[in-house]
Structure formats: structure tokens, C-alpha cells
Amino acid sequence: MASRKKCLVLGFLAFLWAEWGTEGQEEEEQTCRLLGKFDLNGYVDAQNHSVIIGGLFPIHSRTIPANESILEPVSAKCEGFNFRGFRWMKTMIHTIKEINERKDILPNTTLGYQIFDTCFTISKAMESALVLLTGQEENRPNYRNSTGAYLAGIVGSGGSSLSIAASRILGLFYLPQVGYASTCTVLSDKYQFPSYIRTIASDKFQSEAMVKLIQHFGWVWIGTIAADDDYGKYGVKVFKEKLESVNLCIAFSEILPKVYSKEKMHKVVDAVRTSTAKVIVLYTSDIDLSPFVLEMVYHNITDRTWIASEAWITSASIAKPEYFPYFGGSIGFAVPRSDIPGLKEFLYDIHPSRDPNDVLTIEFWQTAFNCTWPNSSVPYNTDHRVNMTGKEDRLHAMSDRFCTGEEKLEDLKNTYLDVSQLRITNNVRQAVYAMAYALDRLSRCEEGRGPFIPGHGCAYIPDFEPWQLMFYMKTLKFTTHDGRKIQIDIAGDVTGYYDLLNWQLDDNGDIAFVKVGEYIFTQSKFEFMIRKNSTIFWNTESSKIPHSVCTDLCPPGTRKGIRQGEPICCFDCIPCADGHVSRTAGQRECEQCGEDYWSNAEKSECVLKEVEFLAYDEALGFTLVILSIFGALVVLAVTVVYVIYRHTPLVNANGRELSFLIQVSLTITVLSSLLFIGKPYNWSCMARQVTLALGFSLCLACILGKTISLFLAYRISKSKTRLISIRPLYRKIIILISVLVEVGICTAYLVLEPPRVYKNMESQNIKIIFECNEGSVEFLCSMFGVDVFLALLCFLTTFVARQLPDNYYEGKCITFGMLVFFIVWISFVPAYLSTKGKFKVAVEIFAILASSYGLLGCLFAPKCFIILLRPKRNTDEIVGGRVPAIDKSIQLTSASLSSELNTTVSAVVGD
């Protein structure tokens, strides 16, 4: 497979060479010429070493723009010395020297190195990769094996875009490449990058950690700014996916241009300034971020909290005190720091006088001490970038002050010498050790027990194939000097561990990277933890946690209403409907309360519905109770009067026993109203209507007995005969039959379809009305239909006998009593149907009491008045009266009939 890929690449490059050579064919001379050499800088130590390791580091930050007037391809020159990248490169050299001094790793093999500057650009990374593969510094595409030491693999290339570009070439030959700073998730794709592994975690882990951080502080409205490269774009892409999976929103997403563009940069600045998002994620390297930082300072944009990616959170070029008002309080994740033994001393062991051809050391010295090294052609501090005003800024090529060589590195406050935050630097060390451990395992292979089939063969240094070393790289496990275990998985990745850092000012006014938390791997899962007692500095006006939302959380009692076409974090707060509540802030839906509950005024809690029934302790109920008891006492008083004056003519008139029964029935009806008051129960629901119906049926049956007697008395007066009679037994039979019919209907009602307690929740949503479900309407109508029928008979018979003499009161009293009865109950029906709840019960009680009081007053009030206040009128002569002139001998009262017609007219004889 590797040979096939190599042939394809060689064929493609041969085609390009043929195209480039067409111009030369116009000349008669058929000789080839070199178009030029790659302009590369670096360090090489390959002599006396059988195996070398390549290195790619961003020692410069950019290339000088090409001269467009030159048509031939020219290798670009670099500018913008990068102290951080220079330290990484020195760390690789230091680590290789350390490995060579060890006896437990590659005891019989020493490692060399060949390191190139990628200038943080893809073109230089590609040039460096081609040189490492071909062994020549020509840009002529003629692939051949290196004539020097054997190349085992490459450490690099710094940024993700550089690693992707280099890996697309190196992967064709399956040459191992170990990344130390490239976190782009696409590099985990082994189909595209089969030989790439890394000692820094993928952005997949960093994005998860960022989302955990955002959730922890309750931010939901986040802006994103990414570098215009694979690192920024893929990093923000993964971050967005994870952010949206937990229902958080992106306020804006902008791209920082690689080459300064006033329009593009102002677009990014305007997005930051106008957005309501106060928390912004910056997925970029420190080199790409520098122009943006200057823009923030230029436009004086503050009160923003920046979430930093691991590429710039510890960058000394950004973490400057003059930038603190704008970027202070930045919080972000960094790879774990470490102390590397002996590195500080190695970094200080540098001086340009040792090698006049060491252009990188000379440039470092010139840039660090702001001077020019004598007799050197190395340019000083050249900057061809376009500044914020849109003009090209060309600084002088040489400094006015010459370097003396006596400058002291100890006086520098320089990123190169800062070993307090060795994070990516430590990854460089681990990358070199990963290559060394893989070579060590390869060298310790025993023939016949090797991993390569057939024959379980081994590979040997220095003539192994790259894919054989990759076998050991993909299954690599080792422990670092600080005790951390490194294990590379099948995708070439390592587990993500991060420190959560916060930018704060120290006592000296410098920016300190304060560790306030961590994102660690424990027991097969990741945990985000904020350190206890850690103080986070927030660069806000209030110095408190920033508030970054599109819309504030809807308070309890409201729900989120979607705004069409806007992110889910932008919404309207809609009050919950009646009977629905939202107990916590930010609920999407309101919850419906249970059937016994209703929402409170704020719609934040379900409270028990108010239970409504006609209670004894409320004014209306208490009044009705008083009226009921008072009515019963009045009936009792009448009964007492009748008992005391039971032998008087007026009491004996038309049936004394019937009067007592009527009084008993009225007591029942009056007191039955008490069953309607209070919380209803099943037994009270069954008792109330039955008691009322039986009470009225007994009362009306007794009155019917009286009215029949009056009706016969009236017939006697009209027929002038003494032969019309009714026995007392028949009146008792009428009463008994009437009551038995009523009892039978009531019994069937209670047995077949009895009334039950009913919670009425339909009439009023906020109340539960306890009332009685009367069961069968047919039975209920039948019960009270009997009472209506009896009342109608009473009224008709007394109406006919209304022409009896004026001094006979019974007929007229019953007539008025029946009129009151009918008026009350006829008016009761519409009033009953038009009311609800406890007032419906009150209307029925008023009807019961009114009809009872009406019958009591009409039947007994006139007689009691005569008995108590006009006793002289309570005589047989006055009570009895006389019939008209036709037959004055006929007495009309029970008393007179008893004395004069006791043998013939038994219809009016008292029992």
C-alpha cells in the first residue's frame, strides 16, 4: 500500500515538473536547471547518529508577503520571531540529549535531530516536510531516499493547519508524526491521517470542558471567534455541536482573518461591541489573536469575559499588563503544567558568538535585547504587516545599537526563559519521548516473537520501515517524569486533562495564571471541578459573574414562548394559564394542577382549591340554622298551647289529632333544613330530600283530611241534609295511604339510585363545590310530585269550601296556606336553577322555611291569637256559627255538630 501511494505521488509530481519544464523546451539547449532552493532555517545534528528525529516548530510567526512582480516560484522568507516556538524547539534538543544520556532507553542507539522553522505557515510546513522526506533542499520534485541518517519520524508541526498539511504528505509514506500542539479533531481520522499521533488532547475534550464551564456559571448566550484555519474552524464547529446539545445558544460566530483585512476585522469588532453576549469563546492561537487584541484596545471595548482555548491562555505575548483592562479575568483551559529538570539551565546556555552561522540564535539575541549583532546580515525586527490604519508598517531593518555580547539573559522578562508555565513545552518533551519509547520497543524485539506476520519477524534499527515503527506507536504506553501515564489510543489521541486558569494581577502588577479548577479523567468519566476557596477575578463593572443571556430566565408563573426564526435562548415569557403553574424559573411548559388543586395568583404553586359548601360557621349558614331552630321552637310553642287548651272548642274544631300531626310534620320539615347545612356526606345527601319529602307528605295528607271534612261540611250546608258523613277512620286511611305511597317511592329511590356526595369542579375552576348528586331525577320528581298532588287536592277542596261563614276560620286559613305554599315553590324553581354552589342550597332552605312558616302561620296563628288573646271568642256559639237562613238548625263546626248532630253527621265529629 505504501509503495502504491508513493508511486501515485511521484507520478503527480512528475506531471507538475513536466508542466513547469515546458518553457525550457523552447530553448535549443535541453539541460535542466534548479529553479531554486527552499529558504529554511533550523538545526541539524545527524552525524554519528544512525537514527534522527525530525522537528517542525513555529520559530517565526509569519512569512514576508511575496513580491508579485516575480513570476517564478520563490521560497518565502520569515519574520516575527516567536520566543515561545523557539523554546519548544530548544526543549526538543534538550530532551534528545537527555534520552541519549539514559541507559534504560535505546542503550545502543543515539538519536540525532533535524529541525526546521515552519514560520507558522502552511507553505513552510510543506517545504520542511518535503526536505525531511527527500533529503535535499531543492524545490525540484525528485523524491529519493535520504543520503544521511535514517529518519524515524517527525515531531510537529505546531498549529493544527500545519500538522494537517504536513501529515497529508507524511501519511502517504506512513512516516510517524507526533504532534505536541495540534488539537484539531479531524486529525483523529486515521483514514486521512494514518500516521499521525499526538501528546495533546483533541479539541473534543476541550470543547466538552468549555461547555461544562459555561453550564457551571449559568451562561446561555455565547459568542465565538475562531482563527481562519483548521484549528479555529474545527474547534468552534465541535464546540457549537456540544453547546447546542445542551440547549445553549450561539449569539454570533466570527472568523479572524489570517492576513489583516480592515473590513473583516471591523466586522468581528462590531459583532463583539453590538452583541448582548458578554461571554465570548476565542478559538485561536496567540499569533493570530494579536491583531484582534490591538483592535480591542484601539476601540476600548471592555466588560467582556473571554473563554480561552489552550493555544493562548498562557501566552505571554497576550498576557501583558497593558491588555489587562480588556482581557483581564479571561478564563480557559490549559494542558497540565510540569517542571522539566535541567531545562532552565539549558535555555540559558545560549549565545550567538558560539556559531556565527546560527542565524536563529543571532535573531533571538537581536530581538530579545533590541540590538544588532555586529557583522551579521540577519534582519532585525522587520514587520511587513498592514496596521490598523491600513498602511504598511516597515520598520528599519537594523537597530541603531550594536549588541556587545555582554547582555545578560537574567535581566530579560522573556517568554523564552519563562519556565513557570511549561505546558505545551512539556508536550514537546512527551512527543520526543513517545518516539524514543517506540524505537526502544522496536529495538528490543526478539526474532520469532515479533509482531510482524509471517514468521513473527522483527524490525531492526536503522533499516526498518516507517509502518513497522507505527505499529509500536499505536500501542504505546509510558509514564512521564512527573508520574503521569500516557496511553495513545487507536485514533492516536491521549486522554484530556486540563487546568482551569484565570487571569489575575499579582502583587507586582503582572498577569498571573491562577489555577481555579480542573477537568480530569476519573473512573472512565470526565469531571469538571472548581477548586474550593478559589477566587475568580471577573472583569465586569460589578466584579461579579457576568450575565450573558439573550433573554432573562422566565420567572416562576410564566413559560418560554418561542420566537420564530430566533435561537431557543431568545424567547418571550408568557404567563401560565389558569390552573397551570411553573414552579421554577425557565420552564418551557406550565404544569397542570391536579383536580383538587388550582394555581395561586402568581401561577407559581398549586394550592388546594377552596372547598365551598354552606357551612354552619358562616353568616348565611348560621342565620338559616337560627331560623330553622326558631321555627321548630314556634311549632313546639303552638303544640304546648294546643296541649294546654286541648278541650276548648277551637282546638277540637275539625280534628285535634290532625292538628298535632301537622305540627309534628312542620317540625320535621323545619328541622330537615339543618341537613342541608354543613359539609355534605352520603348519609346526609340521602336523608335530606327523603326527610323533606316525607315531612311535607305527612303535613299535606293531614291537611287533606281537614279539607275533606270542610268540603263535606260545605256540602251539608248546600244539600240541607244530615246524611253526608265521613268516618274518622277514613281520614286516617287517606293519611296512611298518602304517607305509604311516599315512603314506597323514597325507599325505591334510596335502594336503586341513591344520592351521593359530588365534587363539582365545573361551575368554578378555583373552587370545589361539595354538593349532592341527587341521583335519579325521575325518583326525585316522583317524591315531590306526590306532595304537589296532595297540595293541589288540599287547595281545590278548601277553595270550594271558602264560602263557609266568616266566623269559621279553618277553610280560609288552609286556602291561604296552600297559596303561600304554591307561591313559594313556584318561585323557588327558577331561583334554584339560576344559582350555583352554596347559594343553591340556601335557596332550597329558604323555600323549605318559607313554606313551613307560611303553613304554620296560616293554619295556627289565627287560632293561637284567639286562644291566647281573645278567649271569649273560644266558645261553641262563636266558634260554631250558624248556617244561612235555609236551615239555621245545622251547626257548621265540629263542636256544634258534636252536640247537636252527634248521631247523623259524623263527618265533622272530632276524633
Contact of 368 with 414, CB cutoff 8 Å: yes
Residues 668 and 797 in one domain: yes
Q: Is 525 within the bounds of a domain?
A: yes
Tell me, yes or no, whether 686 and 698 share the same domain: yes
**Is 115 domain-assigned?**
yes
CB-based contact 773:758 (threshold 8 Å): yes
- The answer to which of 677-691, 766-780, 793-807 has the lowest mean pLDDT is 793-807
- The C-alpha cell at 400 is 541603531
Residue 516 has pLDDT above 90, yes or no: yes
Residue identified by cell 453576549 is 277
> Which runs of consecutive H residues, i.e. helices, occur in 75-159?
83-101, 122-134
Do 246 and 146 lie in one domain? The reply is no
In a domain, 843, yes or no: yes
182/56 same-domain check:
yes
Q: What is the pLDDT of residue 35?
A: 58
84-143: per-residue pLDDT in tens?
999 999 999 999 999 999 999 999 899 999 999 999 999 899 988 888 887 766 554 433
First to last CA, the chain: 131
Q: Is residue 385 part of a domain?
A: no
CATH number at residue 292: 3.40.50.2300
Domain C-terminal end among 610, 632, 654: 610
Q: Are residues 122 and 196 in the same domain?
A: yes
Structural domain tally of the chain? 4
pLDDT for position 880:
58
* CATH number for position 701: 1.20.1070.10
Cβ(493)–Cβ(193) below 8 Å:
no
Residue 69 lies in a domain: no
Same domain flag for 142 and 281: no
In the block, which residue shows the cell 504587516?
385
pLDDT of residue 691 exceeding 50: yes
Strands 279-283 and 305-308: parallel
Report the DSSP pairing between strands 51-57 and 150-155.
parallel
Quick one: 655 and 791 in the same domain? yes
Q: At residue 416, does pLDDT exceed 50? A: yes
For residues 287 and 326, state if they share a domain. Answer: yes
Strand 767-773, strand 610-612: pairing? parallel
Q: What is the pLDDT of residue 753?
A: 82
Residue 338 CA to residue 332 CA, distance in Å, equals 18
Among 53-62, 245-254, 290-299, 521-530, name the one with the lowest average pLDDT. Answer: 521-530
Residue 718 lies in a domain: yes
Q: Is pLDDT above 60 for 817?
A: yes
Cell of 752: 336503586
* 316: its cell numbers: 505571554
Helices of type H across 102-134:
122-134
- pLDDT (average), residues 189-214: 93
Domain that residue 286 falls in = 203-334+506-530
Give the residue with greater pLDDT, 891 vs 672: 672
Is the same domain home to 79 and 146?
Answer: yes
Based on the fold, state whether residues 361 and 305 are members of the same structural domain.
Answer: no
Of 361, 390, 163, nearest in space to 265 by CA: 390
Q: What is the pLDDT of residue 713?
A: 60
Q: What is the DSSP string of 755-814?
A: -EEEEE-SS-TTEEEEEEE---HHHHHHHHHHHHHHHHHHHHHHHHGGGS-TT--HHHHH
Per-residue burial over 80-118, b if 16 or more Cβ lie within 10 Å, else e, is bbbbbbbbbbbbbbbbbebbeeeeebbeebbbbbbbbbb
Whether 690 maps to a domain, the answer reads yes
In this structure, the answer to whether residues 630 and 728 fall within a common structural domain is yes
pLDDT digits (tens, 9 = 90+) for 837-846: 778 888 888 8
Place of cell 537574567: 410
Does residue 179 lie in a domain region? yes
Q: Same structural domain for residues 275 and 137?
A: no
Angle between helices 777-800 and 728-752 (to 10 degrees): 160
